[in-house]
Amino acid sequence: GFTHDIISAPDACLCQYSLSLYWVTTTLSSSGLIAGMTPSSWSEVGFTCFAMLVSLTLYSYVLGELSNVVMKGDEALVHQRSQLSLVQSFVKGRELPQELREEILGQFENSVKTRGQQTGLLDESAAEVVERLPHSLQVDVARCVSRGLVAKVQIMEYCKNSFLDALSVLLKEKTMTRDGYLFRANEICDNLYIVWKGALEFVVEEDGDMYVTKTMEPGGVIGELSFFFGMKQTESARSKLNSPGASLFVLHHKDFKELVRLYPAEEQVIVRQVLALHKDRTAMMQEHEFLDSGDNYLMEVQRSMEAAEKKKRQQHVVDMVTAAADGDLPKLKGVMREHGLTVDEADYHGRTALHLAAANGHVNVVSWLVGTMRADVNVVDINGTSPLMEAVHFKQNDVAKYLRSR
C-alpha cells in the first residue's frame, strides 16, 4: 500500500520523517482514521495531519474552557464559605446580643447570595467584617464591643458621650503576637492604642539588658505622647513576656483629625488630661525620689509636652488674629470659645486681635473686642505699636476715632 511506497521511495529519509509526523499526530489526536481509510497520497497525508491538529486544538480549547468554568465555580463556592466562616467566628468571639449576631450573619449571607464572588468581602482579617457593615450596624457593634472600654480610659474621662460614641466606631482591632513589639524606643507612633485584652509591657534597654518599667492592663492607653505631641517614644512596648499575646483597639491619626473637626473642643479636653496625668506621674516619682539628675527622662517628657502645648496654643492665637484681620467676627468668636483664648493674647510678633482688626479697618470687630471683651486699647506689639497707631498708619479713620474715644 501507500506505506510500502513511502518506505521504498528514493528519498527514504524524508519520507520516513513525514510518516513519523503522521503517526505522532495520529497518536496525539487519537483519530488516525478518516472515514475508515488511511491516506494514499502526499496531499492526503498533509490534509489528514492538518485536520487532526485542528481537531486536537478545538478539543483542547473546549475542554479547557469547561474545566475553567467548573474550577471557578468551585473556587467561588469555597471563597463564599470561607467568608461566612470568618463572619461566624467574628460574632462568636465577641459579646454581642443574639439579635445583633443574626442581623450581621444575615447581612453577609444576603450579600454573598446576591453578588457572589464579586462581593470583595474579607481576606484574612476579621477586623474587616465591621468595615463591610452598614454604618448603623457598625455603631451597634461598637456600642457592645468597645464603647464600655473607651468610657474607662483616663485621658477621655471628661469627653462628651456623643464624642465617645463616634470615636468608638473609628476604632480598629489589632492582635499582638506572643512577645511581639508594638513600637520601639525613639520611634514616632502615629496611632493611639487602647489595650483591650491581655497586657503590654514598657521596656528600656540599658547596658544590653532589658528592664520592664510598667505594664499596661486593659483600658490602658499607649502612644499618647507621639499621637498628640509628635514626640519620640522613650520606651519600647511589647506583649507581656510569656503571655499568649494581646488585643488592642487602634485609633488612626487621620480618623481622629476628621472626628475633631466635628468636636473641636474635645481635642483640647483630651490634651489637657494627658498633660495632667503625666505631670502627676512626674511629681509622684519626684516625691518618692525615683528621679534624680541622671535619670530624669520624665522631666524631659514633661518639658517637651509643655513646649508642644505652647506651640499648639500659639497656632490657635494665630488663627484668632487672622480671623480679626479678615473681619470674620463669627470665626473669631468661635476660635476664642473653642480654645479658651483670652482677648489680649498675642502672636509671634506681639500683635493682638485688636491690632489686626484696627489695621484693616473692621469697626465692628474693634467695637466687639473693646466694648464687649474689654480688650486693652493700650497694648503694644514688639515694635511698640498700639492698635490706635496701626489705625492711624493705615488711615483707618473710623477705627482711629473710635479708639480715641475709649
Q: Which residues of the chain fall short of a pLDDT of 70?
A: 1-17, 19, 27-40, 70-80, 111-127, 280-302, 304-305
Pull the grid cell for residue 393. Answer: 498708619
**C-beta separation of 91 from 102 below 8 A:** no
The domain limits of the chain are: 1-130, 146-277, 291-405
pLDDT for 94 equals 81
CA angle 16, 17, 20 (to 5 degrees): 85
User: Out of 1.10.3720.10, 2.60.120.10, 3.40.50.970, 1.10.760.10, which CATH number does the structure's domain 146-277 have?
Assistant: 2.60.120.10
* Confidence (pLDDT) at 122: 47
Cell (9 digits) for 268: 483640647
For 291-405, the fitting CATH number among 1.25.40.20, 1.25.40.10, 1.20.1440.230, 1.10.645.10 is: 1.25.40.20
Which pairs with CB-CB distance under 8 Å and at least 24 residues apart come from 100-106? Answer: 100/137, 100/140, 100/141, 100/144, 103/137, 104/129, 104/133, 104/137, 104/141
Q: Given this model, what pLDDT does residue 35 score?
A: 45
The C-alpha atoms of residue 126 and residue 174 are separated, in whole angstroms, by 10
Three cell numbers, residue 250: 487602634
Q: Give phi and psi for 100, each to the nearest 5.
A: -70, -40
- What is the predicted pLDDT for the residue at 117? 45
**Amino acid type, 264:** P
pLDDT score recorded for residue 4: 45
Q: Tell me, yes or no, if the two domains 146-277 and 291-405 fold the same way.
A: no
Task: Give the HSE-up count for residue 109: Cα atoms under 13 Å, Cβ half-sphere.
Answer: 8
Alpha-carbon distance of 129 to 126, in angstroms, equals 6
The pLDDT value given to residue 6: 47
Q: Which amino acid is at 265?
A: A
Which residues, including other chains, have CB under 8 Å from residue 86's CB and lie 6 or more apart? 122, 126, 129
Query: For residues 141 and 135, what is the distance between their CA atoms, to the nearest angstrom?
Result: 10
Lookup: cell for 401: 476715632
The backbone region for 252, taken as left when phi is positive above 0, alpha when psi lies in -120 to 50, beta otherwise, is: beta
What CA–CA distance (Å, rounded) separates 354 from 390?
Answer: 10
- The Cα 380–Cα 403 span in angstroms is 14
For position 118, what pLDDT does the model report? 46
pLDDT for the residue 307: 77
- Least Cα distance to 345 among 358, 334, 336, 333 occurs for 336
